[in-house]
Structure 1
Amino acid sequence: MASDPLFGWDLTFKTVEKDVKRKSDIIVAFIHWNLIKRGFRNIGIGDERKLSGNEERTELLPTGWNDKENYTMRYIFEDKLYILHGLNTDGNLIVNLMRSEDLAVSNIATNIEETVQETSGSIDKMLPNHKDLMHNIKRDLINSITDSLTSSAQTQTMERDNSRINNNRDNPVRIPPQPRPQAGPENSNLWGAVPPGARFDPFGPPGFAPRPGRRQPPPDSDHLPPPGFNDNMFL
């Protein structure tokens, strides 16, 4: 049997029913319940953007949540602070949810008279289109901001992994240098750079002894013979 998507709403509404003053209160209470279902916890009213670490987290709407025409409440989700703003303007309720850490904002807007028919009774009487409202709250107000947090974390993780891979690639201590191939029968193509039939004298340092079987090169032909030298003296 599928779980009831409205499970917990009746209990939430019973705790604030006596405090309801106007139709927009019903919408804010319904938004609060959706946040609680998702894992948010309320830590009071106001728009203070810093946490002291001693805040009491609760599933209940805080005292004074609807004392003013507009709404401002603080929530914690996954140890991050969120501030809910509800603004009554021209018959509409505009609700923003801001993440204090990076000022990311999500929002929804709804016409109050069209959305709320009654301020008491069953949810079908109060919010005839509650299914659509719940869908919009989940998609536009909650998921759009919490999913951006997940995407950002995944991106940062991928960037750290890529950076670690690049650092390892450039680190000669972690990646040993590859040995150079040695000349041999199996690597005869190492000297493919020499044309066939051409004589190739390997380079070597000054004074490097010739290889066995190689004839000692004659002295430079530009050198003059020493005085008195007669190359016919032994004829």
Structure 2
Amino acid sequence: MDQSTKITASWHANAHNWIASIDNAEIETRILVTNDAIVNTICSHNIQSILDIGCGEGWLTRCLQNKGIVAFGVDAVSALIENAIEKGGNHYAVASFNDLATGKYTIGNRPDAAVINFALLDKTDSETLLKNIKKLIVPGGLVFIQTLHPSAIVQQEPYVAGWKEGSWKGLKRDFEQPYEWYFRTLGAWVSLFSEAGLTIRKIEEPLHPQSQSPVSIIFVLKA
């Protein structure tokens, strides 16, 4: 079983734990920092419509809709999309990164932007998606990516791009089937964006309010 399949299988197995974790606000960094950070970054640009890729149970899609943005979410995990539809109506669909990259799944009118919030976990699937993301949004549209800040790994492991363990580490519920995720240094991210033909417009580094350490990094890219 390749890494992409393992990641997807783990999310299928843990969908209900994840939904409960989000519904009960159990992930401190999301509540204190990263949720508002990605919403505020998107809303600071003139975005009328957006595709939320890897939307999970759909919280970000719903939040952006409440801000007056036409938002649609997709995710490879059917249980997450079913929950999203229950909460937010028919603004979601089941689609993997590969479905989007290859055109197996298409949306109607292409939106102004796409957002990928803590969803770039696999190496190959992430690269394939980003290299084809121009097909999903309007020409010159924006891509917002929020991911773990590269400096966070320095506290635990060498600062080297590669596969890392600990996918569900630190969460309160009894998650199963842990998977490895692919870590990129800042330089590796920049190289990937260049290969994908994406131009960096802005980089933001949201800080934890107590430690003042960067929790995540947000890339604003132009397609």
Alignment TM-score, normalising by the size of structure 2? 0.22
More helix by share: 2
- Structure number with bigger Rg: 1
> TM-score if structure 1 supplies the norm length?
0.21
Higher strand share: 2
